[in-house]
Amino acid sequence: MGAIVLKSLEEIELIRESALIVSKTLGILASEIKPGITSLKLDKIAEAHIRDYGAEPGFLGLYDFPNTLCVSPNSHVVHGIPNNTPLEEGDIISIDCGALKNGFYGDHAYTFAVGNIDSKVEKLLRITKASLYEGIRTFKEGNRIGDLGYKIQSFCEKEGYGVVRELVGHGLGTIMHEGPEVPNYGRRGTGKKFLNGMVLAIEPMINQGTHRINQLKDGWTILTADGKISAHYEHNVALVDGKPELLSSFKYIYASQGITSDEEEGLRKNPLVL
């Protein structure tokens, strides 16, 4: 992980531009995700749209990753490689996407339901996403990295879920993975202080069962050790005037799905124009 780099307001706007390219791409994928489609097809759609927006796929070639999207269905946690297996009714699939424009990265993720899903699965998605926003709201002046991790961990563990330890959020800028590391677990009042100009990728990876994970022989795919399902949501957030400023948005996804949500309320100075 690289050093911590504080950003100017101008640089934060460039990261916002890249982050929103990812947001729009996830919005397009939201309307394509249904039983029968393959993750490789989703990957091609995402790559074409990212290039249409004048950006480059942020993950393609990064550490030699072979694709535009990381796709992680069901018991897969993160870093899955797109393939030709059709999605099935009742599956979930985490899609993580990056874009690079003007030298700055956007990087965020959403776990989608494929058709109708079981209520226990729906609950894992709902709690994991809610934990992301709980974490984002601790990213403010006076708090530390450990406060954010504690919030996400306690929020998810009280539901009996496992919080992945080996993979963490990170700083974001001209490098995809800058400092600081942003664990989804921690102790209150510990770790680095939050500073204006920090830009973080906050990304809880939450398992229905054990927090323990394994890696497939492909050298990429991370999956739960007990085979139970896992969810992953990620936003890009800057600290501006002591408060969290959301740079990415799930509203493009919700627009595709025909739903509204107030979950991003109060996290943006200027309203988002879809």
**Contacting residues toward Mg ion, per CB under 5 A:** 96, 107, 109, 201, 234
CA distance linking residue 127 with residue 229, whole number of Å: 13
Identify which of residues 58 and 88 has a Cβ nearer to Mg ion in the complex.
Answer: 58
DSSP bridge partners of 70: 96
Tokens of 178: 């800058």
Half-sphere exposure at residue 270, Cβ-oriented, CA atoms within 13 angstroms: 5
Question: Rounded to the nearest 10 degrees, what angle do helices 39-52 and 9-32 cross at?
Answer: 140
Q: How far is the CB of 12 from Mg ion (least distance, A)?
A: 17
Q: For residue 267, what are the β-bridge partners?
A: none
- Minimal distance, residue 118 CB to Mg ion, in Å: 26
Q: Tell me whether residue 94 or residue 143 sits nearer to Mg ion (CB atom).
A: 94
Q: How far is the CB of 89 from Mg ion (least distance, A)?
A: 26
Distance (Å, whole) CA 189 – CA 236: 23
Which one, 178 or 234, has the nearer CB to Mg ion? 234
Least distance from C-beta 97 to Mg ion, angstroms?
A: 7
Angle at 51 between CA 47 and CA 54, to 5 degrees: 155
Q: Which is nearer to Mg ion, 109 or 237 (CB)?
A: 109
Q: How far is the CB of 161 from Mg ion (least distance, A)?
A: 20
> In terms of CB distance, is 61 or 266 closer to Mg ion?
61
Q: Work out how close the CB of 84 gets to Mg ion at its nearest, in angstroms, rounded to a whole number.
A: 23
- Give the 3-state secondary structure of residue 273: coil
Q: Which one, 47 or 107, has the nearer CB to Mg ion?
A: 107
Query: What are the backbone dihedrals phi and psi of residue 171, each rounded to the nearest 5 degrees, phi first?
Result: -70, 160
d(CA 234, CA 200): 10
